[in-house]
Amino acid sequence: MIPGARVIILGRQGAGKGTQCVRLSRHYVVPHVSTGDILRAAVRERTPLGLEAKAVMDGGGLVGDDIMVGIVEERLHRDDARTRGYILDGFPRTVNQASALDSITSDRPIDAVIDLDVPRELVLARLSARRVCRDCGTNYMASGKERQPWICDVCGGDVTVRDDDTPDAINRRLDLYEQQTAPLMEFYGDSARLSIVDGVGTPDQVFARLVGAIEAGRVH
């Protein structure tokens, strides 16, 4: 085990961040901190945060920076993330969030920022076919031949379309990515922490590229 990998994975919706981050978190034995998963858990549990976030998420919008920074700060200050590190997925998504993250992590700076690059046309096709287990979050691709109801191989939960994978919400999220998140490439590019990794290929190929990029940037 290599302790202390603190990695941010950026990339368009549908680039495969979720799948790859789960693999990276196992590989480096660090927590996978996904803001989307944290928000979806809050929606399921009907907490005040979940009730507030649900309408924004379903419409493909972004939850406010202050709320998101508070959630991430609390999570990164827990013992597992402090001592081992983390794979951060879905945060930061705006330049404001990135500046706040720099302050939160000033004593233990980020090791690597990776842009998992997949063109918009390809992610649009992937998102339209994406199905998700409501209980454990495992992703599937629909071929149209599945038996209904579709049951998750991992946990037996219902596999359905995610509430924000409607055509309107998908387009809104991709537009917001270009407007709000793409500027982070310059933010991180300036400090030479950014690597761009080609996200087109099999999950194994992409995983090998990601590990290669993280190792290339490590100074330990």
So which residues are the catalytic ones? Answer: 17, 93, 130, 162, 173
What does the angle CA 184 – CA 188 – CA 193 come to, to the nearest 5 degrees? 145
Task: Name the residue nearer to ligand ADP (CB basis): 115 or 164.
Answer: 164
Q: Is 137 in the site for ligand ADP (CB under 6 A)?
A: no
Task: Name the residue nearer to ligand ADP (CB basis): 64 or 217.
Answer: 64
Segment lying near ligand ADP (by CB under 6 A), choices 62-70, 100-108, 152-160, 196-204: 62-70
Put the strands of the sheet holding 139-141 in their side by side order.
Answer: 139-141, 130-133, 159-160
Task: Name the residue nearer to ligand ADP (CB basis): 36 or 85.
Answer: 36
Q: Is 20 in the site for ligand ADP (CB under 6 A)?
A: no
- Report in angstroms the alpha-carbon separations of 107 from 76, 82, 101, 104, 112: 12, 10, 11, 8, 15
Residues of this chain, 142-201, that bind ligand ADP according to CB under 6 A: 164, 173
Residue ranges that bind ligand ADP, judged by CB under 6 A: 13, 35-36, 39, 56-57, 60-63, 68, 90-91, 93, 97, 164, 173
